[in-house]
Structure 1
């Protein structure tokens, strides 16, 4: 089965891996510079790193975590749309908009992190997700 909506799904997965690498190449040196010994860490929470590492380093980690939250719904709804044969046309375009907005959100959060712009990107992406969800509902009900 080929569905155009699967292309943005793969791109967002690939982008999540890009953010993983970006996080690692900035966070590991910062941890070393801060005297953090990974071999000595036990039972830490993400908030613990916020206290010991520079904010700009943590922004990448925060975004990587964000890419495992709402995008999970995107993956699910995109698969529903693909399985129902409605993943081309407008749904593919909305999915590309969602992915573009999420990538923009990532770059913004990882570099500038001004919350008002970040929130606007998140809100627009959320609206795209709502539209995809409505289209998926129309296809299955």
Structure 2
């Protein structure tokens, strides 16, 4: 992998990133769905997370500016934490 040009590695790294934190998002959203947690706050937080992750992917694949990616990644954690908190609140 280290022999590949950086622009090619960016795409491979992005694919790996899509198999990490977003899988937690999928589990939380499924849990909220089964727990009747489809409130307006959770729906907005879900779409905000999806939008930020799409933006993160585009930045990583096209530009790969680490500082910008970090800010977007950090911001995407906020709606994910809201969703996790709401799911835990409903479940327990």
After the TM superposition, which residues 1-141 of structure 1 pair with which residues of structure 2 at under 5 Å, given as runs? 49=1, 51-141=2-92
TM-score by length of 1: 0.64
- Higher RCO, 1 vs 2 (CA within 8 Å, ≥6 residues apart): 2
Greater C-alpha radius of gyration: 1
Residue 18 of structure 1 corresponds to: none
Return the offset for 1:116.
0.7
SS state of the match for residue 52, structure 1?
Answer: coil
Return the offset for 1:127.
1.2
Q: Which moved more, 1:73-82 or 1:83-92?
A: 83-92
Aligned CA RMSD, in angstroms, stands at 0.8
Name the CA distance, whole Å, in 2 between partners of 1:60 and 1:92: 29
Per-residue Cα deviation, 1:70-103 (whole angstroms, up to 9, x for no partner): 0011011101100011124110110000000000
| Uncovered stretches (5+) of structure 2, i.e. residues with no partner | none
TM-score by length of 2: 0.96
Name the CA distance, whole Å, in 1 between partners of 2:80 and 2:57: 17
Name the CA distance, whole Å, in 1 between partners of 2:18 and 2:12: 10
Pairs aligned (count): 92
